[in-house]
Structures are given as C-alpha cells and as structure tokens.
C-alpha cells in the first residue's frame, strides 16, 4: 500500500491543470507543425508535376532537334533549309509574284434596317 501511496503524488502532479495545459499547448503546436508540413508536401508535389512536364517537353524538343539535325546532314535537307531561310531558288526556276489590285472597285453594302427602308422608300 505504501508503494501505491508513494506513486500517488506524482500522478496527482501529472493530472494537475498546469501540466495538462502545457500538454494541450504542445499538442496544438505539433498539430500546427504537421499541417504546415502537409502544405509543404502539397507544394512539393505540384512542383514535381511541373518539373516532370517540363522534362517531357524538353525530351520532345530534343527528339525534334535530333530529327532536324538528321535532315541537315543530307543534301536535300540542306537545300530545303536554305530555301526556307533565304528564299533562294535553283538555276532556271521562275518566281511568281502575286500583287493585289490597289484600284479595286468597292461595292456599297446594302443596309437592311428600318431606317434604310424608309429612306429608300422616299427616293
């Protein structure tokens, strides 16, 4: 019985209001830290998805550039590239130039509203 009574003051101390208040504050603090960690985890997951998408875009760009390099290693690819960049042609090729007519006749648009009906009625 003495052994039980010797442990009782320590138990009474642990069950006191100040100790319980400190434990409640610690629980709130740790909960707050877990919530903060959770939001950081969400941000990290979003950043990871963005980085993975960027890596996929870069891989696709690399594949396209590799294909362009392979095209430039052939004579036909070099010729096509020069034609596209500088607008050059082979010897004997002709050029067709399309010019718009600056003196194009304009046709007046017909108005289909009530005012134009009365205006045309009294002409």
pLDDT averages per 10-residue partition of the chain, 123 residues: 64 83 95 94 96 98 95 90 82 80 69 69 68
**In whole angstroms, what is the distance from residue 110 CA to residue 20 CA?**
88
pLDDT score recorded for residue 3: 65
pLDDT score recorded for residue 98: 84
User: pLDDT tens digits for 34-57?
Assistant: 999 999 999 999 999 999 999 999
Residue 61: which of 53, 86, 46, 83 has the closest Cα?
A: 53
Instruction: With beta carbons less than 8 A apart as the criterion, state whether 81 and 72 touch.
Output: yes
pLDDT score recorded for residue 40: 95
Instruction: With beta carbons less than 8 A apart as the criterion, state whether 100 and 106 touch.
Output: no
């Amino acid at each position: 019985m003495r052994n039980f009574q010797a442990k009782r003051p320590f138990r009474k101390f642990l069950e006191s209001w100040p100790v319980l208040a400190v434990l409640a504050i610690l629980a709130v603090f740790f909960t707050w830290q877990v919530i903060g960690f959770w939001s950081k985890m969400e941000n990290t997951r979003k950043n990871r998805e963005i980085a993975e998408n960027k890596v996929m875009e870069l891989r696709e760009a690399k594949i396209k550039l590799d294909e362009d390099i392979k095209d430039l290693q052939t004579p036909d690819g070099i010729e096509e590239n020069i034609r596209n960049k500088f607008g050059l042609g082979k010897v004997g090729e002709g050029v067709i130039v399309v010019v718009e007519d600056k003196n194009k006749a304009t046709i007046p648009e017909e108005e289909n509203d009530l005012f134009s009906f009365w205006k045309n009625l009294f002409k």
